A and B are shown apart, each in its own frame.
Chain A
């Protein structure tokens, strides 16, 4: 069965960077887009971007351009999301989520989600 297991909670100071990992199992890692979505406390969902694990190609939401970097290590079926220059309003739960269907055309829904990683930014 498809599983996405994320790294543990992080506490960071303003201005620092955080790198969250997402280890995939139960499917062909290189066959599906991996997305990153965040949710601030008590707030809604916000798409940050996606990575094509096959090519390494990325698409980032304009809001995060220049601050976010998504990478992957195909040898261990793991995707990473690094966010730099952290601010207090980056405090949120960060989720990785896999496309429902195989392939790299238009995304067709986020069918599988990781358990989430709480990132707290505080001085």
Chain B
């Protein structure tokens, strides 16, 4: 059971905007940065968002992150078929002294 809670699935049609939520607690999201990873089928994860809302070089600005209190969300605008993937949130947990991941959200582009 993951310490960070994500919906198991999400979906949208091309061009739509979808959001994926991530809920934690005061020992992780509430006091540390949130990160988001994209995992395409059969590949290694890729960092999409760091420090709550920053994008690494090369990540399109269609992807955005936000955080409020002990929750965070990833928004994807202008949805494309190639966005179909699993998305994971993560944050450092002070109680566990290490990063923890959400259970992942499988995004389907209809």
Chain A residues near B (Cβ < 8 Å): 35, 37, 44-47, 49-50, 59, 61-62, 95, 97, 100, 106-111, 113-116
Chain B positions 31 through 44: 1 when the CB is less than 8 Å from some CB of chain A, otherwise 0: 01101010000001
Q: A108-B33, A113-B44 are in contact. Are A44 and B50 (CB under 8 A)?
A: no
Write out the residue numbers on chain B whose beta carbons fall within 8 Å of the beta carbon of A61. 96, 98
Q: What DSSP secondary structure best describes chain B's contact surface? A: strand
List the 6 closest A-B pairs by CB distance, nearest first.
A109-B50, A113-B44, A45-B101, A109-B35, A44-B104, A44-B103
The answer to whether the Cβ of B56 comes within 8 Å of any Cβ in the partner chain is yes
The answer to whether the Cβ of B63 comes within 8 Å of any Cβ in the partner chain is no
Tell me the B79-101 residues at the A interface (CB within 8 Å): 88, 90, 92, 96-101
Query: Are B104 and A111 in touch, CB under 8 angstroms?
Result: no
Q: Total interface residues on B, using CB and 8 Å?
A: 24
- Interface hub of A61, A106, A110 (most chain B Cβ within 10 A): A110
A50 to B98, CA, bound (A): 9
Query: Are A111 and B100 in touch, CB under 8 angstroms?
Result: no
Q: Which of A106, A107, A110 contacts B45 (CB 8 A)?
A: A110
A62 to B3, CA, bound (A): 14
Query: Are A107 and B99 in touch, CB under 8 angstroms?
Result: yes
B31 to chain A, nearest CB (A): 11
Query: Are B50 and A47 in touch, CB under 8 angstroms?
Result: no
Write out the residue numbers on chain A whose beta carbons fall within 8 Å of the beta carbon of B96. 61-62
A114 to B45, CA, bound (A): 9
A109 to B37, CA, bound (A): 9
Q: A95-B44, A116-B44 are in contact. Are A47 and B51 (CB under 8 A)?
A: no
